[in-house]
Amino acid sequence: MGKYSFKEKVKIHKELTSDQHLAADATLLAQKDPTNDLVRRYKLGTRVSDEEVLYRLLDFAPVEEIRKTRRFFEKQADKEVARAAAEQAAEEEAARAAAEQAAAEEAARAAAEKAADQPEPKPETPAIEEVAHVAQEAQETAIEANDTANEALDTANEALDAAQEALDIQKKTD
């Protein structure tokens, strides 16, 4: 069943030898010759030489099919890397938004405590106006903190939507 002469096989083997394609070559060999001892050894996790698999594969598959299978495996690996990167970016954005929201809530709490810690002025002193002013500032700070937290949540949601769109586009291109 030899598809190539010995010289052709050696030449092609030298051109295609690469330890990066062992999984693709072993998968193709398993399709072409499922009873092959190298396939069994590979599936059992026993050390198998990529050169052995390629050399044996050349008896069953043409070079074009080997290259096509390798490209398919590379494309699948690239998609997994892109998917993982998109997920990581979304997680980082969500964490950043959560941290901003926590900071805003802490600022609001601090402002509220500051307003609560002010001694209650006597009605006959002009300090009433100062307390009212501090209370107003605390309320404004709390509103600003709440707005900042809402903006952070919106940004996180936008990042998650963008990541989901990227994953959907990637799925469509598959």
Q: What is the pLDDT of residue 1?
A: 47
CB-facing half-sphere around the CA of 110: CA atoms within 13 A: 9
pTM equals 0.47
Q: What is the pLDDT of residue 68?
A: 93
- Domains of the chain, by residue range, sit at 6-61, 95-173
- For residues 167 and 83, is the Cβ–Cβ distance under 8 A? yes
Per-residue DSSP letters for 18-84?
A: -GGGHHHHHHHHHHH-TT-HHHHHHHTT----HHHHHHHHTTTS-HHHHHHHHHHHHHHHHHHHHHH
Q: Tell me the longest C-alpha to C-alpha distance in the chain.
A: 110
Report pLDDT digits (tens) over 89-147. Answer: 778 777 877 787 888 788 878 877 777 777 665 555 566 777 777 888 888 888 888 88
